Structure 1
Amino acid sequence: MPITSGRFFLAAAGLTLIFRFWLAAALPMTGDEAYFYWWGRQPDWGFYDHPPMIGWWLAALLTVSDAAGWLRLPQIVQPLLLALAVRLAWPRLFPQAAGQRDAVASLILLAPPFVWNVLVTTDTALVYCAVLSGLAWLRAVRGEEAGEAGVWRWYLLAGLLLAGAVLSKYFAALLGFSYLVDALRRQRASAWRGLAIVYACCIPALGLMAWWNSGHCWTNYLFNFVNRHSGANTGFNLRTPLLYLVTLLYVLTPLAVWILWRKVSECRVTSAESATERSLSLLAAVPLMLFALLSFFKTIGLHWALSFVPFALLLVVRHGASGALEKLVRFCAGFAALHVVLLAVLASLPLETWRSLNVYPSMVLTFDGRQLVERAHIGATLLASDGYSNAAILGYQQRRHVPVLGPGSGHARHDDILTDWRELDGRDITVLRKTAPNPGEYDGWFRRVSIDDFEYRGARFWVVRGEGFDYASYRDTVLDAIRRQYYAVPAWLPLTGCYFCDRYFPDRSCR
């Protein structure tokens, strides 16, 4: 069958969907997924790291089942749903190229990260909302270009979806900025009215996040702009831009990057380009170029670009010759098949294959956390961990919350909200670790401490058994250091409450 035909798209859709369901069933719940699972177990208007959307989605899914395959369903079907949305929108956006709709839908479906990524995270909701918002914006631009009535409805839809993206992750600001740049380019009153509608839709979402953060230590601000960057190398360097280039070459494929580069190198707008096509160029270029500038100072994660990959692929189709488009779809199909074969082979290997890797203990815990807990003989004591990823995974596998005992890191500190150490005063606590504890690390927190270790599947684990948890000592040594390092709210931010300081240090300021 022709590689750019509707039959090929349907075949690719069915095969990739089967593969993604299999992969979702084969993979254990990862640390990030288990961490967000606890957001769904206790939904709120906000969470420590990010806005609340993925917590709300998981809360809804948990009313049916807590199985990993079910919780991953929105991510499993995401490439197919996005491809169908693009396939539906394409003839209305570019009627002169309506025959390419199956090819562009196939590209979305077979983009490398969309082939294998079945892990549900904050990016799941963000990608849905951002891509659909962008399509609605482009539809509004096309409507204005064609002189249609009621274009404001497309701007309203774009705004509501952008508000959903804002409630998913703060990267949504890049898409909102792209809309601003596009309005500046168009210089039309209708464009400014449309932008006003879009931004107005986001005000309630932003207001909700400001309200929640002001009563919760401004944790979203502290995490995203302060704590996660402490100690990190944020100086100018040339290594991370090269890494970003490699990331783009992977997520878009080298041929697609070459087509886009030729478009950029022309540095001109031809008369044949429609207003919709110029707007599409900005939706793809503005975020990716901002990431390129940021890459000189910070590593750009692969998942950061996922919300804007579809726009870049749409742009590739508009600027690639028909022969190049067929080659690109063929390459993506072959590359997807390579992913399938590679992951199937890796899944067939025994876990012990990876014993020589430093991450092997983490792999064992991720796959066999429940067996590790049995080997640790927790008994009636409270199970805890020394890290947030391990705690979330063990908690998911046990279906009971596992707190983090110790200072932890600047990442994933939602446990500070879930755990009240005052209520655990005097309890016996058992800590399961992948690394040996430092001498005397736990002595001041308990009346008595014993440490033993065991080997499981070739990996060594340590068990710290603490009798009689001393909350007062823990507050003065660990919690006070956490307060000073992670809860130093700037004076210029209005603060109506802070769970951490109100709970443990009512006589001290979180400033």
Structure 2
Amino acid sequence: MPDRSSSRSDAGRFALALGLLTLLRLVVAAAIPVSPDEAYYWLWAQAPAAGYYDHPFMVAAWVHIGTGLFGNTGLGIRLLGPISTAIGSYLILDAARRLGYGRGYGAAILLNATLLFGAGSVLMTPDTPLLFFWILTLWTAARIAAGGSGWWWIATGAAAGLALDSKYTAALLLAGIGLWALLTPLGRRWLLRDVRPWAGLVLALAVFLPVILWNADHHWVSFAKQGGRTADFHPARALQFLGELIGGQLGLATPIIFILCVLGLWRATAIAIATRNAAPSLLVALGLLPALVFIQHALGDRVQGNWPEILYPAAVIAAIGLPCCQRWLKPGAILGFALTLIVYVQAIASPIPMGGASDPTIRLLGGWHKLGSAAEIHARQTGAQFIAVDEYGLGSELALRLPKTIPLLADDPRWQYFNLPGPATAGLRTGATGLLIRTERRHDAPDATPWSSMRELGSISRSRNGRVGESYKLYAVTLGPSAPALLARLPSGASP
């Protein structure tokens, strides 16, 4: 008989370790400066909608919940990241057990030790809710594969629909579950004898329906933007893109864990082909299928490093089924957590000199608070009635930091798809004067259409530890007659 006291002891140690890890992640989430993309998603939460220019609405909903509890801070924006990661760890553990892969602790440890999971848990992007709902769907499907009730098909549909509400990549989740159901004896029995798998599919689409309707009302802009990634292929660069894909995953999953995951999925595929067993087949459907899609994409275009993260929940379960996993679990976890800790420290303070803007922690995170203060000072010194921007990342960061007393106007076609007011709501009319801030990375002249006059004033920069992340040109501008149709007024997130 199994030693129940030993099992309780292991469960207690795992709960303590995960609790401490989650606490660390919450501290790190509070300490890291808010990145431009995160500020952009915060801005989404200020203009609630069923869809947005770039992605579905779920990340905005998560930010709205977190900032409702902890305000417009790094912790508020990212609150649900560490919490969902902790819950997802238990779901992975339980899914591994139900699929017959031991006690599951190894799978949860490997997943938490990846840089993708560790860094992703302290940042808020659409991938954060996507990964949680992907894991939730894997867990509900594991209940079916383990002989559970047919009502788990309904839960699977709901979870998959919420994943679609997070990011369109979740279409691979529905495809994987569908192929698993069609190609395994267990799945075919359900499809032929019970209506609940089909009801689950209908529910998934119903949960996703608001996003579809929003796109229909907005010229299918979000679908077109994401679908357009497949239009520009360069097969001659396939070797380069494949090399970047593999190299990126070696780094982001960390080398030992990546190799274990690859070998685990290979072994699970061989077992699934030989036996048609539901458990390894599910891991292949949700791990290997996305991997093949990303490999195919890399034959003609670059695969962003975070995209393949969805295959790792299934892959880490497959990995712990390897005979050699116990030997490599500890060194893989130590290396993964050590690298993650280094990334945390670098993101918070950039102590390792990596050369100014070439350091992503400087380029993306450095000096935003001081830049907001400098922009406010320049606006008051020049008598500007508003501050203007023509780039969404800069605009989002300033929106998060500027007071309501200084209206922030944004010139970018994307804002026309948001529920945002125009300049008139700040009492600004033709002839009002303001300060335009524009990155020096753009070497062309600013679009003069919204302005009746424009004059260059100078420049400012943002930096961390004396290393400049980015410089900006300042322009004195005057609102022209076409400004109301072209400019949106961004909200303010600064404390009163």
TM-score (norm 2): 0.81
| Cα pair distance change 1:451/1:442, threshold 3 Å | farther
Structure 1 counterpart of 2:201, from 199, 202, 209: 199
* Separation of aligned partners in 1, 2:128 and 2:350: 29
Residue of structure 2 equivalent to 1:177:
175
Give the alignment's Cα RMSD to 1 decimal. Answer: 3.4
3-state SS of paired residue (1:44): coil
Residue of structure 2 equivalent to 1:160:
158
Matched, 1:190 2:190: yes
Matched, 1:371 2:352: no
- Aligned-pair identity in percent equals 19
Q: Greater shift after overlay, 256-265 or 235-244? A: 256-265
Structure 1 counterpart of 2:126, from 122, 128, 133: 122
| Cα pair distance change 1:35/1:178, threshold 3 Å | same
3-state SS of paired residue (1:81): helix
Deviation string, structure 1 residues 54-95 (Cα, Å, up to 9, x no partner): 22222333333222212211112233211112223433332x
| Cα pair distance change 1:337/1:311, threshold 3 Å | same
Per-residue deviation, 1:175: 0.7
Q: Which amino acid aligns with 1:324?
A: C
Structure 2 counterpart of 1:465, from 476, 483, 490: 476
3-state SS of paired residue (1:306): helix
Residue of structure 1 equivalent to 2:24:
19
Residue of structure 1 equivalent to 2:91:
85
Residue of structure 1 equivalent to 2:3:
none
* Separation of aligned partners in 1, 2:352 and 2:260: 41
Gaps of 5+ in 1: 480-498, 500-511
Per-residue deviation, 1:178: 0.4
Deviation string, structure 1 residues 344-374 (Cα, Å, up to 9, x no partner): 2664457997436487566545342322213
Structure 2 counterpart of 1:298, from 291, 297, 301: 301
Deviation string, structure 1 residues 381-432 (Cα, Å, up to 9, x no partner): 2212121111011111126574432x57xxxx24553456684651323211
| Cα pair distance change 1:209/1:107, threshold 3 Å | same
Pairs aligned (count): 458
* Separation of aligned partners in 2, 1:125 and 1:60: 13
Per-residue deviation, 1:205: 3.0
* Separation of aligned partners in 1, 2:415 and 2:452: 27
Deviation string, structure 1 residues 119-149 (Cα, Å, up to 9, x no partner): 1111111111111011101211211xxxx5x
Q: Greater shift after overlay, 362-371 or 166-175? A: 362-371
Within a 5 Å distance, the mapping from 1:205-220 to structure 2 comes to 205-220=207-222
3-state SS of paired residue (1:77): helix
1:34 and 1:392 in contact (8 A); partners too: yes
| Cα pair distance change 1:16/1:324, threshold 3 Å | same
Residue of structure 1 equivalent to 2:74:
68
3-state SS of paired residue (1:377): helix
3-state SS of paired residue (1:28): coil
* Separation of aligned partners in 1, 2:295 and 2:390: 36
* Separation of aligned partners in 1, 2:347 and 2:218: 43
Q: Which amino acid aligns with 1:186?
A: T
3-state SS of paired residue (1:171): helix
Within a 5 Å distance, the mapping from 1:244-255 to structure 2 comes to 244-255=245-256
* Separation of aligned partners in 2, 1:433 and 1:136: 48
1:422 and 1:471 in contact (8 A); partners too: no
* Separation of aligned partners in 1, 2:176 and 2:447: 51
| Cα pair distance change 1:435/1:416, threshold 3 Å | farther
1:213 and 1:219 in contact (8 A); partners too: yes
Within a 5 Å distance, the mapping from 1:326-337 to structure 2 comes to 326-337=327-338
* Separation of aligned partners in 2, 1:453 and 1:275: 65
Residue of structure 2 equivalent to 1:340:
341
| Cα pair distance change 1:169/1:361, threshold 3 Å | closer
